[in-house]
């Protein structure tokens, strides 16, 4: 996942375990088409020919974990990560391609070019006592920062409140031209920085409220240099009388990454259900939860649906360069003609499904809990959300809404008017006591304490979350492909 999410809880349905019921899909009888025998997947012979219950029996957390173990081995053999343009990413693409082809799919691996951003510069305390901070150790530039340098007094902004910089009133009396120092928490980085810029800040340092660094984004560009710092760096800049030099230099270069797609034909050629998640990790780690968990689940579902004919086609997609700004999915949508876009009935997005301190978040694609960008909410997108809710309700599993705001790979599809939805198990947001009561885990701690870090490895997966969410993915893919929705359905 590419950006910081506040992960605020929305509508929540909590059912007792005894409320679970059998899953049934009216008319969702699957008919296998004649094909050569495929490799066994979890003993299911790669063929689902009875009902949704059969698919959910075949898609297992053990099968997903086998893919995750292979992605971990790829990272271990390639400098510890699977980031875009690296050998680890190339090996990940080859693994997904080979696995799909072994299951009988025709696979497309498509290059796309993009401008990759890197950073140089410096952060230093000039007074009262000089200190130099190390790039990528003590601080990192925030995606969307300006390329600029400034030396100015540092002003801490409401840093003891827990809502530092979240309100314009926090900047009352702020000296124009100062560097604003705000603490991470409660609201998004974009809000904090926008308030600082409106108050006349010449630069912004956001320092962490937890150990270490993450790699956040503003979701857009600003005109001042902006960095994210460790708690220790923040404390150093809070010293009375501090003046600092903040110098951020943004460097861009053209690179190439790949998207992978494979399509399961349907009885009809329209109403294509695109099922996607990103394959790349951040450079800091192997990315097993973010987003090996989504990619591995999609791959497991694809294997177990091979040689099955549903009503509408299912297009499995593994996006490149998501961690650099949703680049692969956007490049894919941009490459489609109007007729090709019109064939797509829906998009289902799966980005982080196994967070160790998880909550079950369903994108609020009916707009009942959170505002969404114009055009994102429709009866068809609401039907996608309802499909996930129906699954969780049938199993007595707790879930809740999360923002449907365009911060994962569904953005390009929703912007193109394609009904979208998906699941998310939580990133660096903090679990509430109410959520701990509903899901277990620890209140006051991140959903994924290893988000965008080297420890996002095979040990950073909740098998409970993976079990619940892999079944939810399989259920939603099958139900949506049998029913269809959106423009490709003539709605």
CA distance 182 to 177: 15
Question: What pLDDT score was predicted for residue 362?
Answer: 98
Q: Is the pTM of this model over 0.85?
A: no
Does 307 have pLDDT greater than 50?
yes
Helix axes 87-102, 294-305, angle to 10 degrees: 20
Q: What percent of the chain has pLDDT over 70?
A: 88
Does 6 have pLDDT greater than 60?
no
CA dihedral 154, 230, 442, 81 (to 10 degrees): 140
| pLDDT tens per residue across span 235-251 | 999 999 999 999 999 99
Q: Indicate the pLDDT class of residue 160, thresholds 50, 70 and 90.
A: confident
Does 12 have pLDDT greater than 60?
no
Q: Which helix (H) or strand (E) holds 2?
A: none
CA distance 410 to 31: 30
CA distance 134 to 131: 10
Class of domain 129-241: alpha beta
Q: Indicate the pLDDT class of residue 44, thresholds 50, 70 and 90.
A: low
Does 64 have pLDDT greater than 70?
yes
* Average pLDDT of the segment spanning 468-491: 78
Question: What pLDDT score was predicted for residue 29?
Answer: 29
Q: Which helix (H) or strand (E) holds 149?
A: strand 148-156
Closest Cα partner for 322 from 161, 143, 152, 171? 143
Higher pLDDT, 482 or 26: 482
Question: What kind of fold does domain 12-114+254-489 have according to CATH?
Answer: Aminopeptidase (3.40.630)
Domain boundaries, the chain: 12-114+254-489, 129-241
Question: What pLDDT score was predicted for residue 200?
Answer: 98
Map residue 359 onto helix, strand or coil. Answer: coil
Q: Which residue has the tokens 């590419």?
A: 2
Choosing from 284, 300, 322, 403, which is the catalytic residue? 322
Q: Indicate the pLDDT class of residue 2, thresholds 50, 70 and 90.
A: low
Q: Which residue intervals of 306-432 are DSSP H helices?
A: 327-335, 338-343, 379-395, 410-415
Q: What percent of the chain has pLDDT over 90?
A: 83
Q: Which residue has the tokens 């910081």?
A: 4
Higher pLDDT, 317 or 405: 317
What residues have CB less than 8 Å from 262, skipping those under 6 apart?
Answer: 100, 105, 106, 107, 108, 302, 315, 316
| pLDDT tens per residue across span 179-231 | 999 999 989 999 999 999 999 999 999 999 999 998 888 988 999 999 999 99
| pLDDT tens per residue across span 90-139 | 999 999 999 999 999 999 999 999 988 889 999 999 999 999 999 999 99
CA distance 235 to 99: 49
Q: Which residue has the tokens 């150990």?
A: 211
Question: What pLDDT score was predicted for residue 20?
Answer: 32
| pLDDT tens per residue across span 320-369 | 999 988 999 999 999 999 999 999 999 999 999 999 999 999 999 999 99
Q: Which residue intervals of 206-320 are DSSP H helices?
A: 231-237, 294-305
Higher pLDDT, 5 or 381: 381
Question: What pLDDT score was predicted for residue 127?
Answer: 97
Number of CB atoms found within 10 A of residue 281's CB = 30
Q: Which residues pair with 150 in a beta bridge?
A: 246
> Contacts by 133-136 with C-beta closer than 8 Å and gap 24+?
133/229, 133/233, 133/236, 136/213
Does 297 have pLDDT greater than 80?
yes
Does 55 have pLDDT greater than 70?
yes
CA distance 491 to 471: 28
Pairing mode, if any, of strands 314-319 and 243-264?
antiparallel
DSSP 225: -
Does 50 have pLDDT greater than 90?
no
CA distance 465 to 439: 9
Average predicted confidence (pLDDT) for the chain: 89
Question: What pLDDT score was predicted for residue 33?
Answer: 27
Question: What pLDDT score was predicted for residue 11?
Answer: 37
| pLDDT tens per residue across span 429-447 | 999 999 999 999 999 999 9
Q: Which helix (H) or strand (E) holds 88?
A: helix 87-102
Q: Is 322 in the active site?
A: yes
Q: Tell me whether domains 12-114+254-489 and 129-241 share a fold.
A: no
Question: What pLDDT score was predicted for residue 115?
Answer: 86
């Amino acid at each position: 996942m590419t950006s910081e999410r506040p992960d605020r809880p929305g509508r929540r349905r909590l059912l007792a375990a005894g409320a679970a019921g059998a899953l049934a899909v009216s008319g969702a009888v699957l008919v296998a088409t004649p094909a050569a025998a495929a490799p066994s997947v979890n003993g299911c012979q790669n063929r689902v020919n009875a009902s949704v219950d059969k698919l959910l029996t075949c898609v297992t957390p053990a099968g997903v974990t086998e893919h995750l173990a292979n992605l971990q081995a790829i990272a271990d053999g390639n400098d510890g990560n699977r980031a875009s343009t690296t050998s680890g990413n190339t090996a990940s693409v080859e693994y997904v391609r080979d696995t799909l082809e072994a299951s009988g799919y025709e696979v497309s691996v498509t290059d796309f070019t993009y401008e990759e951003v890197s950073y140089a510069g410096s952060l230093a305390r000039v007074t009262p006592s000089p200190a130099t901070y190390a790039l990528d150790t003590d601080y990192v530039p925030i995606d969307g920062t300006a390329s600029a340098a400034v030396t100015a007094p540092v002003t801490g902004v409401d840093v003891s409140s827990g809502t530092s910089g979240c309100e314009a009133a926090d900047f009352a009396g702020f000296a124009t031209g100062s560097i604003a120092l705000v603490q991470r928490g409660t609201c998004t980085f974009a809000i904090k920085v926008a308030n600082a810029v409106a108050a006349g800040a010449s630069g912004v340092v956001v320092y962490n409220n937890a150990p270490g660094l993450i790699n956040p984004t503003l979701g857009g560009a600003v005109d001042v240099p902006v960095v994210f710092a460790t708690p220790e760096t923040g404390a150093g800049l809070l010293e009375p009388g501090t003046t600092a030099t903040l110098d951020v230099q943004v460097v861009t270069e053209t690179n190439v990454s790949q998207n992978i797609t494979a399509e399961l034909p349907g009885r009809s050629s329209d109403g294509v259900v695109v099922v996607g998640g990103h394959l790349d990790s951040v450079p800091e780690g192997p990315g097993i939860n973010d987003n090996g968990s989504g990619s591995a689940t999609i791959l497991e579902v694809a294997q177990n649906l091979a040689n099955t004919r549903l009503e509408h086609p299912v297009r499995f997609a593994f996006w490149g360069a998501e961690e650099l700004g949703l680049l692969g999915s956007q490049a894919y949508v941009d490459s489609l003609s109007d007729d090709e876009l019109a064939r797509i009935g829906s998009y289902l997005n799966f980005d982080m499904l196994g967070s160790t301190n998880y909550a079950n978040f369903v994108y609020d694609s009916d707009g009942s809990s959170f505002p969404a960008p114009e055009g994102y909410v429709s009866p068809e997108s609401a039907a996608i959300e309802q499909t996930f809710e129906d699954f969780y309700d049938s199993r007595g599993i707790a879930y809740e809404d999360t923002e449907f705001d365009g911060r994962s790979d569904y953005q390009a599809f929703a912007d193109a008017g394609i009904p979208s939805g998906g699941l998310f198990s939580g990133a660096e947001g903090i679990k509430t006591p109410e959520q701990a009561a509903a899901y277990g885990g620890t209140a006051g701690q991140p959903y994924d304490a290893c988000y965008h870090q080297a420890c996002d490895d095979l040990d950073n997966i909740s098998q409970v979350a993976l079990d619940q969410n892999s079944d939810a993915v399989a259920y939603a893919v099958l139900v949506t492909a049998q029913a269809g929705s959106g423009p490709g359905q003539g709605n």
